[in-house]
Amino acid sequence: MNGMMAVTKKEQVRIIAGLFSPAGVIAAVRRLDIRVIHAILATILLIAVTGIGGRMIITNASVKEGPNALERYYTSITIEDCDTLWDIEARYNTGAENKEQYIRSIMQMNHMSSDILYSGQNLIIYYYGQPQTN
């Protein structure tokens, strides 16, 4: 068999499971046929690309279709005394998204681990509006 060792399906499963440890990677590469390695890498790449592409499509989608479609626009705001994320949500989210999801998205976009805001702080926020026509 051209100097290559035959690997059973059971052993392939065990090897693939071992890929999640550094020692498993080295052992798996030594044992697997190059075609199996290519198939595994292609599958991982396909899953990653599909996940990222799907997320981008969802993120950039309009809220509604047709003549009343709303597009997402981004802007930067400066926090004033006593502003809260809920105030910002009430001001900029015109009902296109649920409150909790909007606040979570703003926190994620701004790398916030807490909902505490400081006067003078800048935040990237988004709002929905009618598409601009030229």
pLDDT tens, residue by residue, 44-82: 888 877 776 555 555 554 455 555 678 888 999 999 999
The two structure tokens encoding residue 14: 């065990």
Please give the torsion angle defined by the CA atoms of residues 56, 107, 127 and 76, in that order, rounded to the nearest 10 degrees: -110
Q: Tell me the pLDDT tens digit for each residue of 5-59.
A: 676 877 777 666 665 666 666 666 666 677 777 788 888 888 877 776 555 555 5
pTM: 0.49
Compute φ and ψ for 129, nearest 5 degrees: -155, 175
Strands (E), the chain: 71-78, 122-129
